[in-house]
Structure 1
């Protein structure tokens, strides 16, 4: 689209998470009139640490915000996969992207705070939960539960795995239980029993359990993540300290000791869900992105990275196509094959024997047995 046409676009982004904030930055740099509507009354990101891949950091450099992200993260040179007791399985450098060769390890809270800090003041409107969206072809009408109604030339549904935009316009498919629980905490390096030695991600693999150790040395902390097969599909299950420690039985004694020392009030406990691939992401003027379009399991560490790459690809498509409708088709054509594959391989996290141990005679909907996969690198 011509620059003057993009500047005349009124864009409403639903959701101020990673994808929504990144899309707001990328689209506002094109000169579009962008407003972000977020249902939360204040931004608070729970969870632990994530890795921002070289392709993602390349986008941040392109948008002029690399330094903002880099100063609250630690650059990592490689990742390592080990057995439960610490015997090496594989070790590899991160797939480079242009001049970017390192993955940056960051706390989720620091990440969303940094992204929001680079947006123009007043662009993000908190306390706006989407109630209905009416697609009128070249324009949409949005109604929020607080009574506000707005119109937009382009609506970007970045409202996560439980997306209202997706449910109302694209698909009635809801989240799919993976057969897993995730237990996540951020601890002091002093409580890590000597397991923080550098800035590199390590994953320890036991039977039916994986433990991810993601150092955040710039914070003097480590992100500690246990992922375990479990039949309880309760969205926010309740577990005891004994339950948690039992999942790491047989692991390196230092990992067991970390688990024993956790304050359960600081542990984020959740059942793990994704969604099945969505056939179509867009209408003429509404588009899904991030978890709303392709929520995936975390085994490949690509959820946040995919959302950032979506934001960049959407901005690119608007500059390359002649109309919004054509841009959304181009965006889906460029991104959906990549995210479909990431969704597929992210579901291949366990062996058949491991799954049968927990789900005798059946498999959870999203799990398919597979061998070990190294963290994949998506292409922008």
Structure 2
């Protein structure tokens, strides 16, 4: 088949690899002048690891990443809020802290090896579906095609979601985060977080080679005020909360060196229409508090590629893909939506409830197991 993929991010490159490996002719359309990943670190969970292992790149990525044994969070007072260790699921369970750029580069290299056609500086804004094939239309109004079908992997703010006129419900959160990467020698083998109420959150994620990914949560409308206060005042505030962040912050001189990103939650009833199917954040974006975005995108790519191979037709593959993925994705989206106000919101009472209840959950074995399965990306639904 001749296939168009809109978006050259993690979801787009992963599905392109799998589709091209099955003998299809794939073209990626990427709006950036250079195909590259933005952002900092991610947690590559066992669910995402399985897809990368299938692609033959997991071992190489693992050598450039940090093996994570668990996560931990503390209150500003130093009192532990939560600690989860993957080892409670078995000795072979762990995550990797990975720089997004490392993961993306290996996926892109595989695309080149698989002879995927990559067209940069081309943002797909619309499409024309005649029932037998689809043409894609870029920002200049130029038509490309025809293609047998289009994979929309153009992210949380997907233009194709609007063009497809599929019913959806969108929530833009009032909270966001600042992301950066730098040296950090004090945090190893775990995601380390410090939380103050529901308005201040700082985290350090080891990503290999003595580096950590840093994030600082804040209200979206407070970012300009933060910049006005100045870098020095902000650094002092962060270090007072999380002293291990000092080394990393030393390497940053301007706010422009960091990435500022908001959160969006979109729930779509259907992830396909006509000759178009949606994957990853284009289909189901949510806040990053469970850290599952990349893992769900990788699983989407594998599931759809398998469905296409098994059914042989796009329509059947799109239906099968949503049937197989919907329950798991709905679970993670709903859970993330429920948890977000307990960590970033304007509801102080949420912090009180969280601080009382959360430390007790891992002490109950079956609850701890469910929490770890969810963290690992292995939970398929509420039951």
Normalising by structure 1, we get a TM-score of 0.82
1:69 aligns with: 61
1:92 to 70, 84, 97: 84
1:232 aligns to 2:226 (yes or no): no
Deviation for aligned residue 1:94: 3.3
1:166 and 2:155 correspond: no
Using the alignment, how far apart are the partners of 1:235 and 1:312 within structure 2? 40
Deviations 1:112-156 (A, max 9, x none): 111101113452221211132012223211122353521111210
Root-mean-square deviation (CA), in Å? 3.3
* 1:36 counterpart = 2:28: yes
Indicate conservation of the 8 Å contact 1:14/1:157, yes or no. Answer: yes
Residue in 2 aligned with 1:141?
Answer: 135
- Tell whether 2:188 aligns with 1:188: no
Determine helix, strand or coil for the equivalent of 1:349.
helix
**Contact (CA 8 Å) 2:7, 2:28: kept in 1 or not?**
yes
Q: How many residues align?
A: 356
Classify the secondary structure of the residue corresponding to 2:154: coil
Structure 2 partner of 1:6: none
> Secondary structure, in 3 states, of the residue corresponding to 2:319?
helix
Residue of structure 1 equivalent to 2:148: 153
Unmatched tracts of structure 2, length 5 or more: 362-370
What is the alpha-carbon distance in structure 1 between the residues aligned to residue 125 and residue 377 of structure 2? 33
**In structure 1, distance between residues paired with 2:105 and 2:54:** 19
2:329 to 339, 357, 364: 339
Shift of 1:95: 8.3
Shift of 1:346: 1.6
Query: Residues 345 and 243 from structure 1, CA distance in 2 versus in 1: closer, same or farther, beyond 3 angstroms?
Result: farther
Over residues 219-242 of structure 1, what are the superposed CA-to-partner deviations in whole Å (9 max), with x where a residue is unaligned?
Answer: x211111113x2518899955326
If the length of structure 2 is used for normalisation, what is the TM-score?
0.82
- Correspondence for 2:6 among 2, 6, 14: 14
1:124 to 96, 104, 118: 118
Residues 142-172 of structure 1: CA distance to partner in whole angstroms, max 9, x if unpaired?
A: 1223535211112100001121211100347
User: Are 1:213 and 2:207 an aligned pair?
Assistant: no
Distance 1:82 1:234, change over 3 A: closer
- Using the TM superposition, give the Cα deviation of residue 259 of structure 1 relative to its aligned residue in structure 2, in angstroms: 5.1
Deviations 1:191-233 (A, max 9, x none): xxx522x222122221122211111232x211111113x2518
* Residue 174 of structure 1: how far off its partner (Å): 8.1
**For the structure 1 residues 352 and 113, does the alpha-carbon distance in structure 2 shift closer, same or farther, using more than 3 Å as the test?**
closer
Unaligned runs of 5+ in 1: 1-8, 364-368
User: How many angstroms does 1:46 deviate by?
Assistant: 2.8
Give 1:84 shift. 2.8
Instruction: Decide which moves more: 134-143 or 19-28.
Output: 134-143
Structure 1 residue 57 corresponds to structure 2 residue 46: no
The 1-side partners of 2:292 and 2:19 are apart by 22
Aligned residues of 2:11 and 2:301 also touching (Cα < 8 A): yes
Kept in 2, the 8 Å contact 1:275–1:294? The answer is: yes
Equivalent residue number for residue 281 of structure 2: 291
* Residue number in structure 1 paired with 2:368: none
Match of 2:48, SS state, is: helix
Question: Does the C-alpha gap of structure 1 residues 121 and 68 become closer, same or farther in structure 2, counting only changes over 3 Å?
Answer: farther
Contact 2:183 2:248 (C-alpha < 8 Å) held by counterparts = no
In structure 1, C-alpha distance between the alignment counterparts of 2:119 and 2:100, rounded to whole Å: 21
Q: Compare 304-313 and 265-274 and name the one that shifted more.
A: 265-274
